[in-house]
Amino acid sequence: MALTSEISPYNPQWPLLFTAENRRIAEGFGAELIGTHHVGSTAVPGLSAKPEIDILVVVSEHINEMARSEFMRTLGYVRGTDLSAGHHFYRRDVDGVRTHKMHVCVAGHGQIARMLRFRDLLREDCTIRKQYQDLKLRLEANNRGGIAEYLAHKAPYIDALMNMHLGD
């Protein structure tokens, strides 16, 4: 069973794709929008990644969710299952290939700091970046259960790393 897309070498176009998509989505959040961030592996120069742009949207609260979901649908996004209370998820596929993932979190949600810290650790430390890249490539090569299996096998590494670097 395949992942949502294949891991490929870092592409310097990824930050530009984030910027372009950021402009497209901003209007859908109105006054509740606090900020957006490029997160995930495509936000880390030099790191191989599934070419799926991860966007973290921070909002003051979740209001007008039906209108937001309708607007996002016009941009090709589908609302997924909430990942936790206050953490909404959207995905965008083009011709059956995942291109974007969007995490919409209420200000103060624990995942905001976690996603930003993990991204920053990968940007700052070439050893961690290489270990993570090697893990991802190994998991992709051995994957039989699709994206859920891939994510489940990455989680222990990420959790251990984050626990080790709490408060850095």
Listed by start position, the domains of the chain span: 14-164
**Residue owning tokens 């050893």:** 127
**Strand 77-79 and strand 33-39: pairing?**
unpaired
Q: What is the pLDDT of residues 122-163, one digit of tens each?
A: 999 999 999 999 988 888 888 787 777 887 888 888 888 888
- pLDDT confidence bin for 23, thresholds 50/70/90: very high
Give residue 134's pLDDT. Answer: 92
Straight-line distance from the first to the last Cα atom of the chain, in angstroms, rounded to the nearest whole number: 38
CATH number listed for the domain at residues 14-164: 3.30.460.10
pTM, 2 dp = 0.90
**Strand 33-39 and strand 97-106: pairing?**
unpaired
**Strand 53-59 and strand 77-79: pairing?**
unpaired
Residue 138 token pair: 């190994």
Q: Which one, of 36, 40, 56, lies nearest residue 48 by Cα? A: 40
